[in-house]
Amino acid sequence: MSIPIIIDTDPGQDDAIAIFLAIASPELNVIGLTTVAGNVPVRLTSLNARKICEVAGRPDIPVFAGAERPLLRHLVTAEEVHGRTGLDGPVLPDPQTPLQSEYAVDFIVRTLMDHPSGTVSLCTLGPLTNIGLALLREPRIASRIKQIVAMGGGYFEQGNITPAAEFNIFVDPHAARLVFECGTPITLIPLDCTHQALTTAKRVEAFRTMQNRCGPATAEMLDFFERFDENKYGTDGGPLHDPCVIAWLLQPTLFSGKLVNVSIECESELTMGATVVDWWHVTRRPRNATVIRSVDADGLFRLLAERISTLP
Ligand code: RIB
Ligand code: CA
Protein backbone atom coordinates (compact mmCIF):
# COMPACT_ATOMS: atom_id res chain seq x y z
CA MET A 1 0.00 0.00 0.00
CA SER A 2 1.68 3.26 -1.15
CA ILE A 3 1.94 6.21 1.20
CA PRO A 4 -0.31 9.14 0.09
CA ILE A 5 1.60 12.42 0.19
CA ILE A 6 1.12 16.08 -0.69
CA ILE A 7 4.36 17.86 -1.59
CA ASP A 8 4.32 21.57 -0.69
CA THR A 9 7.12 23.18 -2.63
CA ASP A 10 8.89 26.28 -4.01
CA PRO A 11 10.92 24.84 -6.91
CA GLY A 12 13.87 25.42 -6.84
CA GLN A 13 16.40 22.93 -8.20
CA ASP A 14 16.63 20.91 -5.00
CA ASP A 15 12.83 20.81 -4.79
CA ALA A 16 12.81 19.48 -8.35
CA ILE A 17 15.12 16.60 -7.47
CA ALA A 18 12.97 15.78 -4.44
CA ILE A 19 9.92 15.66 -6.72
CA PHE A 20 11.82 13.42 -9.19
CA LEU A 21 12.61 11.06 -6.31
CA ALA A 22 9.00 10.97 -5.14
CA ILE A 23 7.68 10.33 -8.66
CA ALA A 24 10.24 7.56 -9.18
CA SER A 25 9.28 5.77 -5.96
CA PRO A 26 6.32 3.35 -6.06
CA GLU A 27 6.20 3.39 -2.26
CA LEU A 28 4.70 6.89 -2.54
CA ASN A 29 1.44 8.14 -4.03
CA VAL A 30 1.86 11.83 -4.89
CA ILE A 31 -1.71 13.11 -4.54
CA GLY A 32 -0.71 16.60 -5.63
CA LEU A 33 1.83 19.38 -5.51
CA THR A 34 1.00 22.64 -3.76
CA THR A 35 3.23 25.59 -4.58
CA VAL A 36 4.25 28.50 -2.40
CA ALA A 37 6.23 31.71 -2.83
CA GLY A 38 9.78 31.17 -1.63
CA ASN A 39 12.80 30.69 -3.83
CA VAL A 40 10.92 32.67 -6.48
CA PRO A 41 7.37 34.11 -6.66
CA VAL A 42 4.49 31.62 -6.69
CA ARG A 43 3.75 32.23 -10.39
CA LEU A 44 7.20 30.78 -11.15
CA THR A 45 7.15 28.02 -8.53
CA SER A 46 3.81 26.92 -10.03
CA LEU A 47 5.23 26.95 -13.55
CA ASN A 48 8.34 25.06 -12.42
CA ALA A 49 6.34 22.41 -10.57
CA ARG A 50 4.43 21.58 -13.75
CA LYS A 51 7.62 21.53 -15.84
CA ILE A 52 9.16 19.07 -13.38
CA CYS A 53 6.16 16.70 -13.40
CA GLU A 54 6.03 16.72 -17.18
CA VAL A 55 9.74 16.10 -17.73
CA ALA A 56 9.37 13.18 -15.27
CA GLY A 57 6.52 11.78 -17.37
CA ARG A 58 3.76 12.59 -14.88
CA PRO A 59 1.61 15.39 -16.35
CA ASP A 60 -1.30 13.83 -14.45
CA ILE A 61 -0.06 15.03 -11.05
CA PRO A 62 -2.22 18.08 -10.20
CA VAL A 63 -0.43 21.30 -9.27
CA PHE A 64 -2.22 23.84 -7.08
CA ALA A 65 -0.92 27.39 -6.66
CA GLY A 66 -0.78 28.68 -3.09
CA ALA A 67 0.31 31.67 -1.08
CA GLU A 68 1.86 34.61 -2.88
CA ARG A 69 3.45 35.96 0.31
CA PRO A 70 4.09 35.02 3.95
CA LEU A 71 1.38 35.41 6.61
CA LEU A 72 2.71 38.68 8.00
CA ARG A 73 6.17 39.45 6.63
CA HIS A 74 7.18 40.71 3.20
CA LEU A 75 8.28 38.02 0.75
CA VAL A 76 12.01 37.32 0.52
CA THR A 77 13.12 35.30 -2.51
CA ALA A 78 16.41 33.61 -3.49
CA GLU A 79 17.10 34.27 -7.17
CA GLU A 80 20.79 34.62 -6.31
CA VAL A 81 20.78 30.90 -5.53
CA HIS A 82 18.20 29.46 -7.93
CA GLY A 83 18.38 31.94 -10.84
CA ARG A 84 15.75 34.30 -12.22
CA THR A 85 13.44 31.43 -13.24
CA GLY A 86 13.98 29.52 -10.01
CA LEU A 87 14.99 26.51 -12.07
CA ASP A 88 18.04 27.78 -13.95
CA GLY A 89 20.32 25.11 -15.42
CA PRO A 90 18.49 22.87 -17.89
CA VAL A 91 16.16 24.20 -20.57
CA LEU A 92 12.86 22.48 -19.77
CA PRO A 93 9.82 22.75 -22.08
CA ASP A 94 6.91 24.92 -21.02
CA PRO A 95 4.20 22.79 -19.42
CA GLN A 96 1.14 21.65 -21.38
CA THR A 97 -0.84 20.96 -18.22
CA PRO A 98 -2.76 23.91 -16.76
CA LEU A 99 -2.65 24.84 -13.11
CA GLN A 100 -5.56 23.52 -11.09
CA SER A 101 -8.18 26.21 -10.43
CA GLU A 102 -8.51 25.26 -6.76
CA TYR A 103 -6.37 27.28 -4.31
CA ALA A 104 -3.63 25.14 -2.76
CA VAL A 105 -4.79 25.81 0.79
CA ASP A 106 -8.33 24.64 -0.06
CA PHE A 107 -6.89 21.52 -1.72
CA ILE A 108 -4.83 20.70 1.38
CA VAL A 109 -7.86 21.10 3.68
CA ARG A 110 -10.22 19.19 1.36
CA THR A 111 -7.76 16.32 0.88
CA LEU A 112 -7.14 15.94 4.61
CA MET A 113 -10.86 16.09 5.44
CA ASP A 114 -11.81 13.64 2.65
CA HIS A 115 -9.10 11.03 3.29
CA PRO A 116 -9.32 8.75 6.34
CA SER A 117 -7.75 10.48 9.33
CA GLY A 118 -4.05 9.77 9.78
CA THR A 119 -3.37 8.58 6.23
CA VAL A 120 -2.01 11.60 4.33
CA SER A 121 1.54 12.89 4.95
CA LEU A 122 2.63 16.44 4.14
CA CYS A 123 6.14 16.83 2.71
CA THR A 124 7.17 20.48 2.87
CA LEU A 125 10.12 21.78 0.88
CA GLY A 126 9.62 25.54 1.19
CA PRO A 127 8.20 28.22 3.52
CA LEU A 128 5.28 26.87 5.55
CA THR A 129 2.75 29.54 4.56
CA ASN A 130 0.28 27.16 2.88
CA ILE A 131 0.31 24.78 5.85
CA GLY A 132 -0.14 27.65 8.29
CA LEU A 133 -3.08 28.99 6.31
CA ALA A 134 -4.65 25.52 6.12
CA LEU A 135 -4.38 25.15 9.90
CA LEU A 136 -6.05 28.53 10.38
CA ARG A 137 -8.77 27.69 7.88
CA GLU A 138 -9.55 24.26 9.36
CA PRO A 139 -7.88 23.52 12.71
CA ARG A 140 -9.29 19.99 12.65
CA ILE A 141 -6.71 18.98 10.03
CA ALA A 142 -3.98 19.01 12.72
CA SER A 143 -5.24 15.70 14.12
CA ARG A 144 -5.89 14.25 10.64
CA ILE A 145 -2.42 14.77 9.14
CA LYS A 146 -0.43 11.53 9.47
CA GLN A 147 2.85 13.44 9.73
CA ILE A 148 4.67 16.49 8.44
CA VAL A 149 8.16 15.90 7.05
CA ALA A 150 9.73 19.32 6.58
CA MET A 151 13.02 20.62 5.26
CA GLY A 152 13.89 23.69 7.29
CA GLY A 153 15.69 25.21 10.19
CA GLY A 154 19.18 24.77 11.53
CA TYR A 155 20.61 24.61 15.00
CA PHE A 156 24.19 23.33 15.27
CA GLU A 157 24.77 24.60 11.71
CA GLN A 158 22.90 27.83 12.50
CA GLY A 159 21.43 29.70 9.49
CA ASN A 160 21.99 30.15 5.76
CA ILE A 161 20.09 33.35 4.99
CA THR A 162 20.95 35.03 8.29
CA PRO A 163 23.44 33.88 10.94
CA ALA A 164 20.44 32.60 12.92
CA ALA A 165 17.87 31.36 10.41
CA GLU A 166 17.45 28.93 7.52
CA PHE A 167 15.61 30.25 4.44
CA ASN A 168 12.33 28.28 4.60
CA ILE A 169 11.67 29.22 8.22
CA PHE A 170 13.03 32.76 7.86
CA VAL A 171 10.64 33.59 4.99
CA ASP A 172 7.57 32.77 7.09
CA PRO A 173 8.39 32.30 10.79
CA HIS A 174 4.77 32.91 11.85
CA ALA A 175 3.52 30.06 9.67
CA ALA A 176 6.33 27.88 11.02
CA ARG A 177 5.28 28.68 14.58
CA LEU A 178 1.68 27.65 13.80
CA VAL A 179 2.93 24.37 12.34
CA PHE A 180 5.28 23.51 15.20
CA GLU A 181 2.55 24.27 17.75
CA CYS A 182 -0.28 22.38 16.00
CA GLY A 183 0.37 18.95 17.55
CA THR A 184 0.86 17.00 14.32
CA PRO A 185 3.89 14.61 14.38
CA ILE A 186 6.76 16.46 12.71
CA THR A 187 10.08 15.25 11.36
CA LEU A 188 12.32 18.23 10.73
CA ILE A 189 15.29 17.90 8.34
CA PRO A 190 17.46 20.95 9.04
CA LEU A 191 20.77 22.23 7.71
CA ASP A 192 22.46 20.12 10.40
CA CYS A 193 21.51 17.12 8.25
CA THR A 194 21.47 18.53 4.72
CA HIS A 195 24.95 20.04 5.01
CA GLN A 196 26.24 16.44 5.07
CA ALA A 197 24.57 15.73 1.69
CA LEU A 198 27.07 17.34 -0.67
CA THR A 199 26.64 17.21 -4.45
CA THR A 200 30.25 16.24 -5.13
CA ALA A 201 31.50 16.11 -8.73
CA LYS A 202 31.46 12.30 -8.66
CA ARG A 203 27.87 12.20 -7.46
CA VAL A 204 26.73 14.70 -10.10
CA GLU A 205 28.46 12.71 -12.85
CA ALA A 206 26.33 9.70 -11.92
CA PHE A 207 23.26 11.71 -12.98
CA ARG A 208 24.93 13.27 -16.03
CA THR A 209 25.80 9.90 -17.59
CA MET A 210 22.32 8.40 -17.23
CA GLN A 211 20.71 7.33 -20.51
CA ASN A 212 17.47 9.23 -19.94
CA ARG A 213 16.41 12.87 -19.79
CA CYS A 214 15.86 13.25 -16.04
CA GLY A 215 19.40 12.24 -15.12
CA PRO A 216 21.19 14.86 -17.25
CA ALA A 217 18.53 17.43 -16.27
CA THR A 218 19.35 16.69 -12.61
CA ALA A 219 23.06 17.22 -13.30
CA GLU A 220 22.39 20.50 -15.11
CA MET A 221 20.22 21.72 -12.23
CA LEU A 222 22.95 20.82 -9.75
CA ASP A 223 25.64 22.46 -11.88
CA PHE A 224 23.75 25.72 -11.49
CA PHE A 225 22.38 25.29 -7.96
CA GLU A 226 25.59 24.20 -6.23
CA ARG A 227 27.83 27.05 -7.43
CA PHE A 228 26.43 29.48 -4.82
CA ASP A 229 27.11 27.17 -1.86
CA GLU A 230 30.44 25.85 -3.20
CA ASN A 231 31.63 29.45 -3.21
CA LYS A 232 30.11 30.10 0.23
CA TYR A 233 31.33 26.95 1.99
CA GLY A 234 34.42 26.16 -0.07
CA THR A 235 33.32 22.54 -0.53
CA ASP A 236 33.21 20.02 -3.39
CA GLY A 237 29.55 20.43 -4.17
CA GLY A 238 26.81 22.10 -2.18
CA PRO A 239 24.23 20.80 0.32
CA LEU A 240 21.29 19.01 -1.28
CA HIS A 241 18.40 19.95 0.98
CA ASP A 242 14.92 18.98 -0.18
CA PRO A 243 15.47 15.42 -1.49
CA CYS A 244 16.34 14.44 2.11
CA VAL A 245 12.62 14.85 2.95
CA ILE A 246 11.53 12.23 0.43
CA ALA A 247 14.54 10.00 1.12
CA TRP A 248 13.63 9.98 4.82
CA LEU A 249 10.15 8.69 3.95
CA LEU A 250 11.66 5.98 1.73
CA GLN A 251 14.65 4.89 3.84
CA PRO A 252 14.52 6.44 7.33
CA THR A 253 17.43 4.27 8.48
CA LEU A 254 19.72 6.47 6.39
CA PHE A 255 19.02 9.22 8.93
CA SER A 256 19.27 9.72 12.67
CA GLY A 257 17.90 12.28 15.09
CA LYS A 258 15.84 12.63 18.24
CA LEU A 259 12.51 13.92 19.57
CA VAL A 260 13.00 17.37 21.05
CA ASN A 261 11.30 20.73 21.36
CA VAL A 262 11.59 23.13 18.43
CA SER A 263 10.45 26.72 18.97
CA ILE A 264 10.46 29.48 16.36
CA GLU A 265 11.75 33.00 16.97
CA CYS A 266 9.13 35.49 15.77
CA GLU A 267 9.98 38.61 17.80
CA SER A 268 13.65 39.61 17.40
CA GLU A 269 14.74 40.95 13.99
CA LEU A 270 18.28 39.82 14.87
CA THR A 271 17.27 36.16 15.18
CA MET A 272 13.96 36.16 13.28
CA GLY A 273 13.09 32.66 12.05
CA ALA A 274 15.66 30.85 14.21
CA THR A 275 14.69 27.28 15.11
CA VAL A 276 15.52 27.08 18.81
CA VAL A 277 16.10 23.36 19.45
CA ASP A 278 16.07 22.09 23.06
CA TRP A 279 18.47 19.27 22.16
CA TRP A 280 19.41 18.46 25.78
CA HIS A 281 15.86 18.83 27.17
CA VAL A 282 16.83 21.65 29.51
CA THR A 283 13.28 23.02 29.42
CA ARG A 284 9.87 21.46 29.90
CA ARG A 285 8.74 22.60 26.46
CA PRO A 286 6.76 19.91 24.61
CA ARG A 287 8.81 17.57 22.45
CA ASN A 288 7.07 18.49 19.19
CA ALA A 289 9.50 17.35 16.49
CA THR A 290 12.02 14.68 15.60
CA VAL A 291 15.03 16.71 14.52
CA ILE A 292 17.30 14.85 12.09
CA ARG A 293 20.99 15.55 12.68
CA SER A 294 22.78 13.08 10.40
CA VAL A 295 22.45 11.27 7.09
CA ASP A 296 24.37 8.48 5.33
CA ALA A 297 25.23 10.65 2.33
CA ASP A 298 26.52 7.78 0.18
CA GLY A 299 23.31 5.89 0.85
CA LEU A 300 21.24 8.96 -0.01
CA PHE A 301 22.95 9.48 -3.37
CA ARG A 302 22.75 5.74 -4.14
CA LEU A 303 18.98 5.95 -3.60
CA LEU A 304 18.72 9.11 -5.73
CA ALA A 305 20.74 7.61 -8.59
CA GLU A 306 18.88 4.29 -8.45
CA ARG A 307 15.46 5.96 -8.59
CA ILE A 308 16.15 8.83 -11.01
CA SER A 309 17.65 6.35 -13.47
CA THR A 310 14.17 4.77 -13.74
CA LEU A 311 12.55 8.03 -14.88
CA PRO A 312 12.08 8.98 -18.56
O1 RIB B 1 17.48 26.52 2.98
C2 RIB B 1 17.24 25.56 1.98
C3 RIB B 1 15.81 25.58 1.55
O4 RIB B 1 15.49 26.86 1.01
C5 RIB B 1 15.51 24.58 0.41
O6 RIB B 1 14.19 24.15 0.52
C7 RIB B 1 15.68 25.40 -0.83
O8 RIB B 1 14.90 24.93 -1.93
C9 RIB B 1 15.14 26.73 -0.37
O10 RIB B 1 13.73 26.69 -0.49
CA1 CA C 1 12.68 24.40 -1.39
CA of 64 to the centre of ligand 1 (A): 19
How far is 128 from 120, CA to CA, in rounded Å?
17
* Known active-site residue 174: no
CA of 212 to the centre of ligand 2 (A): 24
CA of 10 to the centre of ligand 2 (A): 5
Tens-binned pLDDT, residue by residue, of the chain (312 aa): 899 999 999 999 999 999 999 999 999 999 999 999 999 999 999 999 999 999 999 999 999 999 999 999 999 999 999 999 999 999 999 999 999 999 999 999 999 999 999 999 999 999 999 999 999 999 999 999 999 999 999 999 999 999 999 999 999 999 999 999 999 999 999 999 999 999 999 999 999 999 999 999 999 999 999 888 999 999 999 999 999 999 999 999 999 999 999 999 999 999 999 999 999 999 999 999 999 999 999 999 999 999 999 999
* SS3 of residue 262 by DSSP: strand
> Ligand 1: which of 189, 241, 245, 248 to mutate, most ligand atoms within 8 Å of CB?
241
Angle at CA of residue 213, ends 212 and 216, nearest 5° = 95
Angle at CA of residue 13, ends 102 and 9, nearest 5° = 30
Is pTM beyond 0.85? Reply is yes
How far is 312 from 295, CA to CA, in rounded Å?
28
Q: Which ligand is nearest to the CA of 38?
A: 1
Angle at CA of residue 216, ends 214 and 218, nearest 5° = 65
Q: Who lines ligand 1 at CB under 6 A?
A: 10, 12, 14-15, 38-39, 125-126, 151, 160, 166-168, 241-242
How far is 206 from 271, CA to CA, in rounded Å?
39
From the DSSP assignment, how many helices (H) and strands (E) are in the chain?
12, 9
Asked whether 20 and 48 are in contact (CB, 8 A), the reply is: no
Ligand 2 is an ion; its neighbours by CB within 5 Å are: 10, 12, 15, 125-126, 242
Give the model's pLDDT for residue 146: 98
Q: Which ligand is nearest to the CA of 165?
A: 1
Give the model's pLDDT for residue 1: 84
